[in-house]
Structure 1
Amino acid sequence: MRVKKQKRHRRAVRFYTACFGFREPFKVLCDGTFVHHLIANRITPADTALANTLGAAVKIFTTRCVLAELRSLGDSYSESLNAARCLLAARCDHENRKSAVACITEVIGENNPEHFFVATQDAELRKKFQEIPGVPVIYGLRNALFLERPSTFQHEFAKNSEEQRLHMTELEYKMLKAKKKRKATDEERYSSDANEDNEDHILKRQDLKTNVKRNRIDTKDKVQFKRKKAKGPNPLSCKKKKMQGNKDGASLEERSVDNSTRNRSRKRKRPRKNKKTTEAIAKRYMADLRSQRNS
């Protein structure tokens, strides 16, 4: 049973957060009957008990009119009055004291703008809030707290609001029409400006071409560098062509001739001196020696 209760509470909280914009930490507005029920059944601390039911952090509120009503009930409610004084005070602009039911209904209003969870033990007030969209109700049963399921009215209201969000209102439709007209006029202006800019650009190009032609006539022709053409392969690195046909005899003869020429070229030619020249040189040498001695 406890697991089913928690699932039901989670489903209800998810409905209110998705359809009506409730956010953590959740605000809980308590009346005097609920505070008295917590004290009588020793459900303390109250913030942890409410956080367990809602599955998130909680802030507990009450109003000055609720405190005044508890004060008027006498000493039997003094403990619940002291507990209610520790809670946060929700704003209610009532100069004269009103009943707790009237005060809470005015704070909630028609759409519950502050997104309050209302905690009460009053059955009539619980039924009343089921007919107002976006008002979840918490109540106590002995030592346990329960969150009421969303009513059929609240489910229908959520569906209708979703359908209204999908469709445009008259004001939005008029705004969209005006935006389209502005866009069309801006595009026309842009296209006209672009055409004018293109014409100016063409005229400037023509002026530049004429100036360039005049300058070319005045200035001398510069040397134009010729591009290097692709040359043939290096003949030294290429292989010689082989002779085709049956010319073995001729090739052998050519080889022998080449070898003979090579051998001849390799022989070193030494200068040969004649015998006559050597004898003449010897005679001169001897004559010189004799003359030196006689002297």
Structure 2
Amino acid sequence: MRLKKQRRHRRSVRFYTTCYGFRPPFKVLCDGTFIHHLLINQITPADTAISNILAAPVKLFTTRCVREELKRLGKDFSNTFNVARDLETARCDHEKIKSGAACLRDVIGEKNSEHFFVATQDADLRKQFQELPAVPVLFALRNALFLESPSKSQHEFAKASEEERLHMNDLEIKLLDNKRKRRSENEESGDSDEAGEGLPNKIIEDLKRNAANRKMDVKDKVQFKRKRAKGPNPLSCKKKKIEKPKPVAKKDGDESGETVRSRSKKRKRSRKQKLPVSATE
């Protein structure tokens, strides 16, 4: 069950990185309900627990309005307020303090240009963010964290944006028609038309700028490594044994530097004692 959960989370993260351009370290925008739930269930440290779910390093953010909301709740949420005060602050341009849910909706907007992961325990807020195209949602159940799977509307929006990138826009169609007209006029007049010749400079600059913007909009696709044949395991291969040369007997040298033959071992012989010679002889 745990393996299936990890696969589902990685599939969801891959969808957001491929289709919407999310890149690690991921930014997680937390509200007061999520921070309070982590403290009650002792899910600490929070950044480590969330990075395990997303399989990438993360940065935790909150807003000024969320901190003020926790401060107004009193002593029961004092620890939660202290933790929220240590998180990084996401910019919210409000003249007056709003509720935490309203503040998060304003920060995310319609396109989530800052690429935030939203962490909340509010069920209504989670449903609202699921309808937006590029807003992944995190939530907790007891002592476990979960990442919402991409909704049907998010899949449809990603498919539609991919089809738009494959087709030409109005400006490119207009430029193509103008080029065809100029080519036909040159053919009638008998002049050779080179690529890009005769077009106004303003139109050429617009075409280049549009091509560059389209190139930037294309998201990076996941690349898979090809499996290639590998060599034999070096640990299983025996190395060739190098025969060591036999040690040579050392030779004694004279002062003049001339070498002398090595002393061979002499056979020890037992000498018989000589008999005493008689005096008569």
Residues 73-84 of structure 1: pairs in structure 2 closer than 5 A:
73-84=73-84
1:62 corresponding residue in structure 2:
62
1:13 corresponding residue in structure 2:
13
Deviates more, 1:58-67 or 1:158-167: 158-167
Residue ranges of structure 1 left out of the alignment (5+ in a row): 193-295
TM-score, L = length of structure 2: 0.64
**Structure 1 Cα separation of the partners of residues 59 and 140 of structure 2:** 18
Q: Specify whether residues 162 and 74 from structure 1 end up closer, same or farther in structure 2 by C-alpha distance, changes over 3 A only.
A: same
Q: Helix, strand or coil: the match of 2:28? A: strand
Residue ranges of structure 2 left out of the alignment (5+ in a row): 194-281
Residue 24 of structure 1: CA displacement? 0.9
2:34 corresponding residue in structure 1:
34
Residue 175 of structure 1: CA displacement? 3.1
Q: Specify whether residues 107 and 182 from structure 1 end up closer, same or farther in structure 2 by C-alpha distance, changes over 3 A only.
A: farther
2:3 corresponding residue in structure 1:
3
Residue 182 of structure 1: CA displacement? 7.1
Report the RMSD for the aligned CA atoms in angstroms: 2.1
The higher radius of gyration belongs to 1
Residues 81-92 of structure 1: pairs in structure 2 closer than 5 A:
81-92=81-92
1:108 corresponding residue in structure 2:
108
2:121 corresponding residue in structure 1:
121
Task: Answer yes or no: is 1:166 the counterpart of 2:166.
Answer: yes
Q: Helix, strand or coil: the match of 1:134? A: coil
Structure 2 residue identity aligned to 1:25: P
Q: Specify whether residues 30 and 191 from structure 1 end up closer, same or farther in structure 2 by C-alpha distance, changes over 3 A only.
A: same
Structure 1 residue identity aligned to 2:24: E
Same amino acid, percent of matched pairs: 66
2:141 corresponding residue in structure 1:
141
Runs of 4+ in structure 1 deviating by more than 4 angstroms, as ranges, are 178-192
Residue 74 of structure 1: CA displacement? 0.5
2:238 corresponding residue in structure 1:
none
Q: Helix, strand or coil: the match of 1:9? A: helix
Residue 162 of structure 1: CA displacement? 1.2
**Structure 1 Cα separation of the partners of residues 137 and 121 of structure 2:** 10
**Structure 2 Cα separation of the partners of residues 72 and 189 of structure 1:** 82
**Structure 2 Cα separation of the partners of residues 176 and 8 of structure 1:** 45
Q: Specify whether residues 119 and 186 from structure 1 end up closer, same or farther in structure 2 by C-alpha distance, changes over 3 A only.
A: farther
Task: Answer yes or no: is 1:93 the counterpart of 2:93.
Answer: yes
1:48 corresponding residue in structure 2:
48
**Structure 2 Cα separation of the partners of residues 116 and 176 of structure 1:** 39
**Structure 1 Cα separation of the partners of residues 178 and 75 of structure 2:** 68
TM-score, L = length of structure 1: 0.61
**Structure 2 Cα separation of the partners of residues 181 and 24 of structure 1:** 48
Structure 2 residue identity aligned to 1:157: F
C-alpha offsets along residues 169-195 of structure 1, whole Å, 9 cap, x if unaligned?
Answer: 112212334456678899999959xxx
1:220 corresponding residue in structure 2:
none
Q: Helix, strand or coil: the match of 1:146? A: strand
Residues 107-256 of structure 1: pairs in structure 2 closer than 5 A:
107-178=107-178
Q: Specify whether residues 149 and 180 from structure 1 end up closer, same or farther in structure 2 by C-alpha distance, changes over 3 A only.
A: same
Structure 1 residue identity aligned to 2:164: Q
1:241 corresponding residue in structure 2:
none
C-alpha offsets along residues 68-105 of structure 1, whole Å, 9 cap, x if unaligned?
Answer: 00001101111111111111100100121001111100
Q: Specify whether residues 74 and 168 from structure 1 end up closer, same or farther in structure 2 by C-alpha distance, changes over 3 A only.
A: same
Structure 1 residue identity aligned to 2:134: G
Q: Specify whether residues 182 and 17 from structure 1 end up closer, same or farther in structure 2 by C-alpha distance, changes over 3 A only.
A: farther
**Structure 2 Cα separation of the partners of residues 53 and 186 of structure 1:** 63
Q: Helix, strand or coil: the match of 2:155? A: helix
**Structure 2 Cα separation of the partners of residues 184 and 86 of structure 1:** 68
Q: Helix, strand or coil: the match of 1:117? A: strand
Residue 65 of structure 1: CA displacement? 0.4
How many residues are aligned here?
192
